[in-house]
Structure 1
Amino acid sequence: MHFTIGVLVHGAIVLVLIVRVLLRPHREPASRVAWIAVIASVPVAGMIAYLLFGETSIGRRRIDELRRILRGMLPYDASRLEEFKNAVPARRQSLFRVATSISGFEPVGGNTARLMEDSNATIEQMVADIDNADQHVHLLFYIWLADNNGLKVVDAVKRAAQRGVTCRVMADNLGSRAMISSPDWTGMQQAGVKTGVALKIGNPLIRPLIGRIDLRNHRKIAVIDGRVTYCGSQNCADPEFRVKAKYAPWVDCVMRFEGPIALQNQRLFAADWAAATGENIDALLAHAPEPSPGGFYAQAVGTGPTVRYSAMPETFESMFYAARERLIVTTPYYVPDESLERALCSAAYRGVDTTLIVPARNDSWIVACASRSYYEELLSAGVKLFEFNGGLLHAKTLTVDGEVTLIGSANMDRRSFELNYENNILFYDPQLTGQLIERQEQYRANSRQVTLSEVEGWSMPRRLANNALAMVAPIL
């Protein structure tokens, strides 16, 4: 009797979870099928896995708070939209409209930027900007390490705070857990630096009952005096990245921007800061920096679990479909959904010179295998595929027809699409895009081209491993 009741209760729980999987919004059919198969085939482990990783929720309270903050921010001044229409070709304007639909930001003109030489040069320039700050310094990193570069920034922020500059620094609770619990973090606080922890985990046993523990703030944002901002792939760390030294150097790509675009990154920071600390800094969002004559148009794209579903892949796909001549993509993690894979293949099919550059050696063997499961389809479509050999290519860049660039923190994988808070900047400037293409060509020169015949010659066990691991992607 007790056994029968137990079986019925167990079956009812399994049925309830399967119904929940079917009713959960914004989930691809493949993902639903994968989760139902897992729950039905290994019920206990499957149910636990679904409760831990099956839903992209950071908790209802956090969602309500973030949305309240965004709604309450000062309205954006779009009075110069006509100037944008005159400055940017009509064939490119739709890309900015997609971005506007995500974060609510309109493209702003009058910006200038410089492509940083490498990771160390980025930190040196950032430290110089912090040392020259006279109003405020705002920093947000997913990973902040207590290494050479990480401590250079710590020391610069402490110096700024001690001379009266308002400094707010924030790091992700998972990615920067060692820094947050270190004496260096306490030292910043003692120097007068305001600190915030993004997406606090709290009790790891209770956290999964409230929201997924692996939904993280993956952004890398620096705003100095409201007029200078940085955007790219680099965390606050040495390129040797000693926590994963065997994959080093980490090869990153960062741009230093000046102009009105800094206000949009400031807005992203302000929302994250208010959610983490409760401090409202809307007063800093009232005025944008003066535009530089002849500067280019740019737009911030902030995505995450509380933003429109599929916002990040839509941005990528829009750029793939907009390409007419040349498309170059660099990403460390290529595990696309079906629509993004089709969009990239479509570019090559219609005659666009399409190049994808990924690391030859990835710090995640699961991602590496899953990525390679897509190689044959990409190569058959005519995509030129390269594996970078000079370390772990961590740069997240996309250039279209030598005119438009997207640079930032987002990878081309499901984690960036659905689980992480990301920040990118989209801009139209043929000259600066040309400089980035030169950098992308340097990556290609340090890479080995993968051929279709090579992939077709892979052994059956290798194909099985790649495809099996790719099947896991929809449930993550």
Structure 2
Amino acid sequence: MSVILTFHALLVITFTIRILLRDDLSPPGRLAWFIVLNVLPYFGSAIYFLFGEVDIGNRAHKRHDQIFDEIRSKAAEFMGVAGHSDSAIERVYRPAFKYAGSINGFHTQTGNSAQLMPNSDSTLTNMIADIDAATDHVHVLYYIWLTDHTGTAVAEALIRAAQRGVTCRAMADGLGSRPLIKSELWQRMHDAGVEVVVALPFHNLLRTIITSRLDLRNHRKITVIDARITYCGSRNSADPEFLVKEKYGPWIDIMLRFEGPVVAQNQLLFASDWMQATGESLDVIPLQAASQEGGFPAQVMGVGPTERRGATPQLFSNLFACAEHSLTLSTPYFVPDATVLEALCASAHRGVAVTLIFPKVNDSWIVAAASRSYYHKLLDAGCKIYEHRKGLLHAKTLTVDGKVSLIGSSNLDLRSFDLNYENNILLQDEHITQAISERQQEYIAQSDPVELSAVLAWRYSRRVWHNVIATIGPVL
């Protein structure tokens, strides 16, 4: 018994000291781990060993730093440095755009145009048409790429392009797209001449467990065609019915088709992942930055576990702070850190009309419980909350004052903040922002409002459950 007690004490003390030595961990994160380690010491120690630290390994970090030194240098050479297009951004929003530019070195570029895709069918039709019209190259990267109608149609378009001599580079996340990577369709792409690469693969499971984390994933959704067109939004290469989780379907996404200099920035972001996975040089990735007459200012923002910690919540907080009249946000996964939560409440307190749209039924019970733990505080501050009831609202959108939009792959949860590689585009344009706002209003029309009186009437057991899950959220 004394041996077991001694082992128990050493285990808890060892991991406690490790947690206290970490400067990158927030106080709530430390507290969550302390709770788990003391209540479930053996289970908690195993979970911390597997998932406690955000680290992809020293070799990957060094390679990433080398790659992004080259990427930033190319971005500055090709598109200019900070301040080059500041005057195109209204003064009140400049802090947010400047902050976004500090993350990757991708600063505001004017001369962009965009088209909001009406629906999932239109997105697929336009994307296939653009791939079929490609003359030089097609680059795609998806977190989830299924062998359903959408996933197969994209793969077949790449096969056709490769067979007519177009350079096709395709990346898929090693976990999210695992069924495709092991499928005959993936092999057919390879045999047809498509260069296929797995992002964050599981070549050596034991090595991954020891040196990194299994749940560090590439969550990006990037499509670049002939360095002229790029697609950005929340949609994976999968049907809305999303057969891997069909009981939550349809999954409701949003996609924009861009032209202009912002395409080159998305190309560079794709290049960073391609170089990391293959070891190839940036020289193999073509770049151009043809401006669209009368186009709007925009820039790409990419984050991940090898980028600056806290970049995503700090960007969102900057955008919330810039809002003068209104901000509307939709996200499927809402587990904010204190920075984001307080910034939202502060915006509402100073009179900004803050509207939040979440799914009514979430595919993650953990996220659903944690999200609702924040409802009381948000509603009390004056925010409006809507729960979308028709399928799973997967669109990640933010509109500010009818002028500024942020769209892409980032959720407002700890995974997007710390663990996933994400890509987004920040833009200032009243026409496009109005189109996204109208889409947000469609979401609201399909939603139920959440009233403060209803939240206060929740049973004590339900409120306790939500708060318990939120408390250990940094662990989950």
Give the TM-score normalised by structure 1: 0.96
Cα displacement (A) at 1:10? 4.9
For 1:179-194, list aligned pairs within 5 A: 179-194=180-195
Runs of 5+ consecutive residues of structure 2 not aligned to the other structure: none
Structure 1 unmatched ranges of 5 or more:
none
8 Å Cα contact 1:230/1:256 also seen in 2: yes
Instruction: Output the amino acid matched with 2:155.
Output: V
CA contact under 8 A between 2:82 and 2:98: conserved in structure 1?
A: no
SS in 1 for 2:368: helix
**1:418 alignment counterpart:** 418
Task: Determine the structure 2 residue equivalent to 1:312.
Answer: 312
Q: Deviations over 1:90-143 (max 9, x none)?
A: 111111110011111111111100001112211111111100000000000000
Distance 1:469 1:37, change over 3 A: closer
Q: Which amino acid aligns with 2:262?
A: I
2:25 is matched with which residue? 27
Q: Does 1:432 align with 2:399?
A: no
Q: Where does residue 253 of structure 2 map in the other structure? A: 252
Q: Secondary structure at the match of 1:335?
A: coil
Measured in 2, the distance between the counterparts of 1:79 and 1:242 equals 44
Whole-Å separation in 2 of the counterparts to 1:415 and 1:68: 25
Q: For residue 473 of structure 2, what is the aligned residue in structure 1?
A: 473
Which residue number in structure 1 is paired with residue 241 of structure 2? 240
Aligned residue number for residue 400 of structure 1: 400
Q: Deviations over 1:341-394 (max 9, x none)?
A: 111111111111110000111111111111111111111111010001121000
Equivalent residue number for residue 154 of structure 2: 153
Alpha-carbon deviations, 1:217-256, whole Å to 9, x = none? 0000000001110110000010011111111110001110
Q: Structure 2 counterpart of 1:247, which letter?
A: Y
Query: What letter is aligned with 1:60?
Result: N
How do 1:16-415 residues align onto structure 2 when only pairs under 5 Å count? 16-73=14-71, 74-77=74-77, 78-79=79-80, 84-285=85-286, 287-415=287-415
User: Any conservation in 2 of the 1:310–1:417 contact (CA below 8 Å)?
Assistant: yes
Bigger Cα displacement from structure 2, 460-469 vs 328-337: 460-469
- CA offsets per residue over residues 179-198 of structure 1, 9 Å max, x none? 00000000000000001100
Query: Which letter does structure 2 place at the counterpart of 1:372?
Result: R
Give distance in 2, aligned partners of 1:353 and 1:394: 22
Superimposed CA distance per residue, residues 29-48 of structure 1 (whole angstroms, 9 cap, x where no aligned partner): 11112212322333222211
Amino acid at match of 2:222: I
Deviating more after overlay: 105-114 vs 465-474: 465-474
Query: Secondary structure at the residue paired with 1:475?
Result: coil
User: Which amino acid is the alignment partner of residue 409 of structure 1?
Assistant: S
User: What amino acid sits opposite 2:69 in the alignment?
Assistant: R
- Aligned equivalents of 1:218 and 1:79: distance in 2? 28
Structure 1 pair 472/10, CA: closer, same or farther in 2 (3 Å)?
Answer: closer
> Structure 1 residue 265: deviation in Å?
0.6
Change (3 A) 1:161 1:17: same
Deviations 1:428-463 (A, max 9, x none): 111111111111111111111110001111111111
> Mean Cα displacement is larger for which, 42-51 or 387-396?
42-51
More off after superposition, 129-138 vs 17-26: 17-26
**Cα distance in structure 1, aligned partners of 2:447 and 2:169:** 39
Could you say what secondary structure the match of 2:321 adopts? Answer: helix
Distance 1:455 1:12 in 2: 43
TM-score, normalised to structure 2, is: 0.96
Matched residue SS, 1:300: strand
Residue 86 of structure 2 contacts residue 108 of structure 2 at CA under 8 Å; is this kept in 1? no
Offset of 1:15 from its aligned partner? 2.0
* Secondary structure, counterpart of 1:134 in structure 2: coil
The Cα RMSD (Å) is 1.5
| Residues 120 and 239, structure 1, Cα contact 8 Å, conserved in 2 | no
**TM superposition shift of 1:278:** 1.8
Q: Which moved more, 1:75-84 or 1:379-388?
A: 75-84
Further displaced range: 464-473 or 323-332? 464-473
Aligned partners of 1:387 and 1:443: how far apart in 2?
Answer: 9
Contact 1:120 1:238 in 2 (8 A): no
| Cα displacement string for residues 270-304 of structure 1 (whole angstroms, at most 9, x for unaligned residues) | 1101111222233435x432101210111000000
SS at match of 1:412: coil
The amino acid of 1:387's aligned partner reads E
Any idea what SS the aligned residue of 2:76 has?
Answer: coil
Are the aligned partners of 1:138 and 1:169 in contact in 2 as well (CA < 8 Å)? Answer: yes
Which residue identity does 1:87 align to in structure 2? A
Distance in 2, Cα, partners of 1:218 & 1:42:
31
1-side partners of 2:4 and 2:447: how far apart?
58
Letter in 1 for 2:101: T
Is the contact made by 1:108 and 1:299 (CA closer than 8 Å) also made in structure 2?
yes
Shift of 1:148: 0.6
